Structure formats: structure tokens, C-alpha cells
């Protein structure tokens, strides 16, 4: 059952530009990468974009990990030297590559959030897959209320 993304959590996620995605391979070896993301009322999305990478598409380590172990965690945080200002959102849930019929709508969310994506050819769902993370557990934590 998906966990709701309440208004405070969505607002926190929308205020930030970068998340860190944790995946694990079949043996449980962790892998964490920063990434750009979009959010709607039900899920978070990221695309394998056209920034320079050693591999593309499903050959990326994060994508190979998701294929064998779809359980992921994504964190977005506020760090400050004044630790009373610390805050973070942790989203855990299954990740799946979206099929080509849903690719366009998710890509529109990502392009609306990141103008850089407008200049990238990302319409090929095979070369630039989009992953949907369906929240199963969501935690919004703040050092002070």
C-alpha cells in the first residue's frame, strides 16, 4: 500500500533540487547516487538523462540494481552548521521502470522542474528510461518542530 505524500512532505521535496538514491544489488551491496527528481501526489520520478555517464539506459549501476532489487531509498536533506535547522525526507519503496506509454507524462514533470531537460533528447524510453518510486514509507524529520 503506498504511503501518502502529505502537503508538508511534498512542499519539502519541491523546495529542493537534488536527492540521493540508494539502491542495492542482488547481494545487498549498496550504491548511492545524487539525482534530479520530480514528484506528484503519488510518487517520485527520475530519468536516466543525457549528462555524461560511463554507461547509459539500463546499463547504469542504479538501473541494474533496480532490475534485481526494486527496493530503494531516496533522501533529500537540509544541512546547516546550526543543527537546530537540520531536516530531511526519507522515502522508501519499490522502484520500477515506466513503460513507454507513461514516459511522456513523467518526462513533462521532470522538464517542468529542470529547464536543462528541455534541451536534452529524452523521449526515447529505452535510452532514457524513467523510474517511478512508489512510496511505501515516508519520514519527514526536523530538528525542531
Is 1 part of any domain?
A: no
Mean pLDDT for 114-141 is 94
Is 2 part of any domain?
A: no
Q: What percent of the chain has pLDDT over 70?
A: 91
Quote the pTM value.
0.92
Tell me which range, 62-76, 94-108, 114-128, is most confidently predicted by mean pLDDT.
62-76
Is 114 part of any domain?
A: yes
Is 24 part of any domain?
A: yes
Mean pLDDT for 28-48 is 95
DSSP 57: G
pLDDT the model gives residue 62? 95
pLDDT the model gives residue 28? 95
Domain that holds residue 76: 7-142
The residues, ordered by sequence, that sit 6+ positions from 106 with a Cβ below 8 Å of its Cβ are 38, 45, 47, 98, 130, 132
Predicted confidence (pLDDT) per residue in 115-128, tens digit:
999 999 999 898 89
Is 11 part of any domain?
A: yes
Number of domains within the chain = 1
Mean pLDDT for 65-85 is 97
**Alpha-carbon Rg for the chain in angstroms:** 15
- Which domain CATH number covers 34? 2.30.110.10
pLDDT the model gives residue 57? 62
Identify the residue with better confidence: 94 or 49. Answer: 94
The backbone region for 64, taken as left when phi is positive above 0, alpha when psi lies in -120 to 50, beta otherwise, is alpha
Is 128 part of any domain?
A: yes
Is 42 part of any domain?
A: yes
Is 60 part of any domain?
A: yes
Amino acid at each position: 500500500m503506498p504511503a501518502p505524500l502529505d502537503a508538508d512532505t511534498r512542499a519539502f521535496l519541491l523546495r529542493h533540487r537534488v536527492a540521493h538514491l540508494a539502491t542495492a544489488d542482488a547481494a545487498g551491496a549498496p550504491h548511492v547516487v545524487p539525482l534530479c527528481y520530480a514528484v506528484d501526489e503519488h510518487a517520485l520520478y527520475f530519468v536516466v538523462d543525457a549528462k555524461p555517464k560511463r554507461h547509459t539506459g539500463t546499463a547504469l549501476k542504479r538501473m541494474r540494481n533496480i532490475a534485481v532489487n526494486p527496493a530503494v531509498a531516496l533522501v533529500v536533506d537540509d544541512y546547516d552548521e546550526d543543527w537546530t535547522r537540520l531536516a530531511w525526507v526519507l522515502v522508501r519503496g519499490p522502484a520500477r521502470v515506466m513503460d513507454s506509454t507513461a514516459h511522456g507524462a513523467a518526462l513533462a514533470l521532470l522538464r517542468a522542474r529542470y529547464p536543462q531537460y528541455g534541451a536534452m533528447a529524452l523521449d526515447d524510453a529505452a535510452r532514457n528510461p524513467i523510474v517511478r518510486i512508489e512510496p511505501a514509507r515516508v519520514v519527514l524529520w526536523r530538528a525542531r518542530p
